[in-house]
Amino acid sequence: MTPLPVTMESEQQLFFHNYARLPLAITHGEGVWLVSDDGTRYLDMIAGIGVNALGYGDKRLVDAISAQATKLIHASNLFMMQPQFELAEKLLELSGLSKVFFANSGTEAIEAAIKMARKWAAQFGNPDKKEVVSLSNCFHGRTYGAMSLTAKPQYVNGFEPLLAGTGMINFNDINDLEEKVSNNTAAVFIEVVQGEGGIHRISQPFIDRLKELREQYNFLIVADDIQAGCGRTGTFFSYSQVNADPDLVCLAKPLGGGLPLSAVIGSDKVADVLSYGNHGTTFGGNPVACAAGLAMIDAIHKDNLMENAETVGNYINDEMQKLAAKHPQIIDIRQYGLMIGITVNKEAKYYAGKALQRHVLINATSINVIRLLPPLTISREEAQHCITTLDEILTEETAEKNC
């Protein structure tokens, strides 16, 4: 059988229609650039939606994957495997927490954390201590528990009923927080920087009050660091910047260097919450993915990529502020390391489409927010290419309006 060509027509024929794919057939990547099947190079300011922290073609990552693949690709969690042990040890060292569970994706990590929270709460003899709540405008995933915590119409319409015992607190609203947590609360899920929600950071007063209420009502704080973690905001964990002191931490996206891998890291408070058979995964903690994760973390530290995220991120912010003074289309700019949101006065997908025509890949989220999540390896010169492109698009838009 002759394979179908890699075209939008073939995509419609082969797949469920759940991805709004770009009309690009990508063959490979080089550094912070993706290359299409016609040889065109695209500056990638999306990085696989925050996954490719090291960009493309990093030799250390490729070598780690290749070396482990020659030894063992899969054996299941019935056995002990060195890469898994080494990565667990590294994550505990970095976090100062006590135990690790590996899964395959961010949404799986969230599901595991929900189960851990409810199992932990069950020991206190209160049958109503089951409530698992999140913050408005958040995104935690698309499986049922994670989707119930996300609860945005575009993700949940047609899939109800959602998971019982879930709820939502208004983002950074301390009064609403005080009204909605109680002795029936098992866990509060937070993103220190909301990615899908448009790059908004949780406030220090909100975190401080959340911690006080945790002491009063005895619930867990779960930090979703799936998009903001692994160095993207300038520290390995974003929650450390606001002293969130979480009981559970969810990591994914860049953790496996592009291979499916996620982790739930827990404090002493929850270290013994699971017993044999309570939870599991066939592929989670795969030795090849764990070897990639070790290489990724090592590269982040050896190449000072957290410092680079801060330096280049600040540079992008400074240059975008200059554009905001020049172009009224820009309403607001929010930057935390290399996690950048630019609020504009129309649907952001307009600018994403115009940038694509100029061979720059940017992302639109939360309707009117341009989201930039470039590889942590990006240089100032490469970042300037994106800024110049946005300047050209905004200038052209103004000229067209004035015609």
Tens-place pLDDT, residues 4-57: 999 999 999 999 999 999 999 999 999 999 999 999 999 999 999 999 999 999
Does residue 134 belong to any structural domain of this protein? Answer: yes
Q: Of the candidates 138, 217, 196, 141, which has an alpha carbon nearest to the alpha carbon of residue 171?
A: 138
Residue 2 included in any domain = no
Residue 109 lies in a domain: yes
Let me know if residue 186 belongs to a domain.
yes
Residues 398, 308, single domain; the answer is: yes
Looking at the fold, whether 309 and 260 belong to one and the same domain comes out as no
Q: What is the distance in angstroms between the CA of the first residue and the CA of the last residue of the chain?
A: 53
Residues 47 and 68 both lie in one domain = no
Cα 41 to Cα 268: distance, rounded to the nearest angstrom: 48
Give the SS3 label for residue 12.
helix
Residue 268 and residue 320 in one domain: no
Mean pLDDT of 224-235: 98
Digit-coded pLDDT (tens) for 278-294 = 999 999 999 999 999 99
With 90 as the cut, is the pLDDT of residue 127 above it? Answer: yes
Both 84 and 146 in a single domain?
yes
DSSP-assigned letters across all residues of 115-157:
HHHHHHHGGGS-TTTTEEEEETT----SSHHHHHHH--HHHHT
Q: Which residues, 6 or more positions from 55, have their beta carbon under 8 angstroms from its beta carbon?
A: 29, 31, 32, 44, 47, 375, 377, 378
Final residue of a structural domain among 249, 271, 302: 302
Sheet of strand 185-190, all strands in order from the earlier edge strand to the far edge? 99-103, 262-266, 248-251, 220-224, 185-190, 131-135, 166-169
- Residue 398 confidence class, pLDDT cut points 50, 70, 90: very high
Is residue 372 located within the same domain as residue 291? no
**Confidence class of residue 1 from pLDDT cuts 50, 70 and 90?**
confident
Into how many domains does the chain fold?
A: 2
Please indicate, yes or no, whether residues 394 and 281 belong to a single structural domain of this protein: no
Structural domain boundaries enclosing 245:
59-302
Please indicate, yes or no, if residue 278 is contained in any of the structural domains. Answer: yes
Q: Are residues 327 and 345 in the same domain?
A: yes
- Domain final position from 287, 302, 317: 302
Whether residue 66 sits in one domain with residue 52: no
Any domain includes 141:
yes
Task: Tell me: do 73 and 14 sit in the same domain.
Answer: no
Q: Look at residues 302, 326, 344 and tell me which one is the last residue of a structural domain.
A: 302
Q: Are residues 99 and 227 in the same domain?
A: yes
Has residue 1 been placed in a domain? no
134-152 burial string, b = 16+ CB within 10 Å, else e? bbebbbbbbbbbbbbbbbb
